[in-house]
Amino acid sequence: MSKRPFVPEDLKSLAFLSDPQLSPDGSTVLYAQGKLNEKNSLAPQIWAVNVESAEAKQLTQHEKGHGQARWSPCGGWISFVSGRGGSAQIWLMPWRGGEAKALSKLDEGSIGETKWSPDGRWIAFTYRPTHPDRTSKAKKERDEKGLSTPAWEIETLWYRLDGDGYFGQQRYAIHLIEVATGETKEIYSAGKLGSFGFDWLPDSSGLAVIRAASDNPLIDDPSDQVYLVGLDGAEKQVTNLVSGGRGNPAVSPCGGFVSYLANLDAKDVWGVRNSRLYVLDLKSGVEQCLTPEEPLCLDAATLTDTSADGATLNTWSRDGSKIYVKVAVQGTVQLGSVDVANGGLTLLTEGQHVLGFGGFSADGTKLGVTRGAPTQVSEVGVVSLGETTEIRELTSVNREFLATVELAEPEELWLDSTGGTRVQAWVMRPSKGGITPGILEVHGGPHTQYGLGFFVEFQSLVSAGYTVVFSNPRGSKGYSEEHTAAIERDWGNADWDDIQTVTNWMLSDPHIDSKRVAIMGGSYGGYMTNWAVGHSGVYKTAITDRCVSNWVSMAGNSDFPLARDDYFGGYAWGDLEKIREMWRQSPISYFDKVRTPMLVIHSEGDLRCNVEQGEQVFHALQAQGIKSKFIRYPVETSHGLSRTGPVDLRIHRIHSILSWYQETL
């Protein structure tokens, strides 16, 4: 059967699987499956697949979707979060058959993480009520009376978050709900952020909690501390640990230790240093790093536009001898284990894939996963742990459709750059062969990695006849801490060297038209695109998406405002020399040299990189008479439009990219 080219509209035909949770007996994996519905949404539904037969069945169906499906410790019940009753509630469903019922009766608000107690009596969860002026009921009453939306009254910098929106002074707190009765109570609301990592103690008597101890956590150095919180809400700080960032706590099976991922460089608010695995002795208060020399980061994000990367992993083996972790390595994501007694990381899987991790079986021998690859949208599987580690895929939801379209496999490259650096890159070529235009894609972050998952955007570009090249220049994760730290205090230097190295390879490649090379990227990738056109005339055209252009203005308008830290070697107010350092690393300061036609893409609802960053680029281009266009998406969208935005706008975005290249490349 002949295959047709992949097109942006094929996004409508894909299903996106995530959050694989293995039942306690290891027989069934719960997962979320999102696919386009009549409401232009990928609202996920809960599915279950049998580990032995690979037979899958849908458990929920509602246009508002469902998430966080979690097994009860006995395996007889499934809890999940849904807004199908109007506002978000915790629901309960019997596994062996029966109707789901709302367990909680919360006011309108947002539910965060949920965890069953080991004895099955409680579910601990984080919950943030909607401000009374912002509820659906309040809005309806205002509309009926013709009243205006009230002003926010804001007293701290933590009042908004990209993808979450504006929440003002409302904060998450930890709540308990009794499974038998639905009785709910708040037990813990300490900390200024309302941001908690928590895990149950094995005897269900309370929680181990990690939170910021600072009174001004967005400005002060990281100060995460560990607390034991009883069911009555009583708090006990385990010990006065050194300052630093900590998260993702997991209590050992014996209850005597807490493991977590930490970066204890108190000045590193950007995640340059590796997150390492630590264990805290709850009795002695001694904190020990188990991976002190490990070059790889244990919570690095891996970027695609199909959200193939899963949550960070920190899970003890049943006997307490190992801790399982997620490892990003050279564009892949693998399962690793750390020996508790001796330390050190061992990679348990290998292959050109991106794994997403879920829950273990009660005996610790199996783990639910998703597995994605460049020509495979993530499917659900199970990892069996033993003398060898085996990954077995259980679903094939997308396989039949993907078999009908042309898909490009990336070819790996290693290129020699400055300072003895070798840059890993990949090239995806059109099936028709010949000499084609080349497009260099630059990832966001910057302290993330491009990964070998499925890219709708990349496949659409290749099918349209373009050669796509992507890489992990210095600043990226997945290689070494030195590789990541090379751009600290100096964006636009070592990273730009590596981008030029990849560009020069493209210019010399016999299958790429050297006069028709473009560059594009989003977020930090937008920053580097802006930097590239201000420092080189080699690119025939460029696309900057959700970009950073001016650090001086962005310092105070991002949801994570820049503190007076030393990451950039400067800050945006006060000392003029410090301001100049921020301006030196701002691409807009070089736009008097730009002659490259550019498409600017930005979302009005982007709270990470404010839309004014794109506006400045567009203004500078228009003021100089440079061919340019501004695609401005509505306030309902966010920084993550290309990955998690409305399907129709994601398709529109890729078509806008294709149209721009057809016109200028």
529 domain residue, yes or no: yes
Q: What is the CA radius of gyration of the chain?
A: 25
- Structural domain boundaries, residue 617: 408-550+586-664
**For helices 524-535 and 494-508, what crossing angle results, to 10°?**
70
Confidence class of residue 46 from pLDDT cuts 50, 70 and 90? very high
Q: Is 436 left (phi over 0), alpha (psi -120 to 50) or beta?
A: beta
pLDDT of residue 220: 86
pLDDT of residue 2: 86
Mean pLDDT of 91-105: 93
Write out the two tokens for 562. 């820049």
pLDDT higher than threshold 70 for residue 565: no
- Look at the chain and report how many structural domains it folds into: 1
In a domain, 443, yes or no: yes
pLDDT at 564: 65
Contact 494, 486 (CB under 8 A): yes
Could you read off the pLDDT of 423-473 as tens digits, one per residue?
Answer: 999 999 999 999 999 999 999 999 999 999 999 999 999 999 999 999 999
* Contacting residues for 394 by C-beta, under 8 A, at least 6 apart: 29, 49, 50, 51, 54, 56, 379, 380, 381, 382
Residue 348 lies in a domain: no
Q: What is the mean pLDDT of the segment spanning 530-537?
A: 98
Does residue 568 lie in a domain region? no
The whole-chain average pLDDT of the chain stands at 95
Name, in order, each residue with C-beta under 8 angstroms of 342's C-beta and a sequence gap of 6 or more: none
Whether pLDDT at 89 is above 90: yes
Residues 170-219: pLDDT tens digits?
Answer: 999 999 999 999 999 999 999 999 999 999 999 999 999 999 999 888 88
Interatomic CA distance for residues 190 and 215, integer angstroms? 11
Tell me, yes or no, whether 390 lies in a domain. no
Residue pair 385/366 in contact by the 8 Å Cβ criterion: yes
Whether 271 maps to a domain, the answer reads: no
The answer to the question of residue 438 being in a domain is yes
Q: What is the DSSP letter of 244?
A: B
State yes or no: pLDDT of 87 exceeds 70. Answer: yes
Return the pLDDT at 266: 83
Average confidence (pLDDT) over 15-31: 97
Mean pLDDT, rounded, for 72-99: 93
pLDDT at 563: 74
CATH number at residue 492: 3.40.50.1820
Average of pLDDT values for 531-560?
A: 96
Phi-psi domain of 611 (left: phi exceeds 0; alpha: psi -120 through 50; beta: other): alpha
pTM strictly above 0.95: yes
pLDDT of 285 > 80? The answer is yes
Residue 276, strand partner residues = 262
Q: Is residue 447 part of a domain?
A: yes
Any bridge partners for residue 633, and if so which?
Answer: 603
- Give the model confidence (pLDDT) of 367-416 as tens digits: 999 999 999 999 999 999 987 889 999 999 999 999 999 999 999 999 99
Q: Once rounded to an integer, what is the mean pLDDT over residues 325-344?
A: 96
* CB-side neighbour CA atoms (13 Å) of 161: 10
Sign of CA dihedral 352, 358, 364, 365: negative
